[in-house]
Amino acid sequence: MEDKIEKLTTEEVDVEALEARLELLDPGMTPGYYCYGDG
């Protein structure tokens, strides 16, 4: 069986180190969303 993984996002992903990475995250880096306002 083919037994490999191709990581599409950063190598740094480690679920045990998430809190430390979130602490360092630039707060200005926020995702977009769109508003439903039908005005």
Partner 1 sequence: MYVDLPDDRAHVLLVHGYSGAFDKVPASVASYLRSLDERPPKPLYGDWTDTGNNGDAEATRPSDELLALLTKRGYLTSLTRAEERARFDRLVQMRHEKWSALPPAYTLMPTYDCNLRCGYCFQDHMRTDARYEHLLRFMTPQVVDRIVAAMPAIEERHGLTQPGAPRNVMFFGGEPLLARSRPLIDYLMAAIRRAGPATFTAVSNGTQLDAYEDVLGPEGITVLQITIDGTPELHDTRRVHADGTGSFAAIARNIDLALGRGAKIDVRMNVDRSNVDVLPRLASLFEERGWFRDAGFSAYVAPVHGTKGNLERKTTFNSHELGVTINAMKREHPQLGKFDLPDDDLARNLRSLFREHGDALPQMKAAYCGAHTSMYVIDPFGDIYACWERTGDKNLRVGWIEADGTPQFVADRLATWRKRNVSSNETCGQCRYSMYCGGGCAVLAEDVHGTIFGNYCDAFGRRFRETVGRAYGERHLANTVDERVASLRAL
Could you list the residues that contact partner 1 (CB under 8 A)?
1-16, 18-19, 21-23, 25-39
**Distance from C-alpha of 25 to C-alpha of 37, rounded to nearest angstrom:** 30
* Beta carbon of residue 18, minimum distance to partner 1 (angstroms, whole number): 6
- Determine the straight-line distance between the first and last CA of the chain, rounded to whole angstroms: 55
* Beta carbon of residue 33, minimum distance to partner 1 (angstroms, whole number): 6
* Beta carbon of residue 24, minimum distance to partner 1 (angstroms, whole number): 10
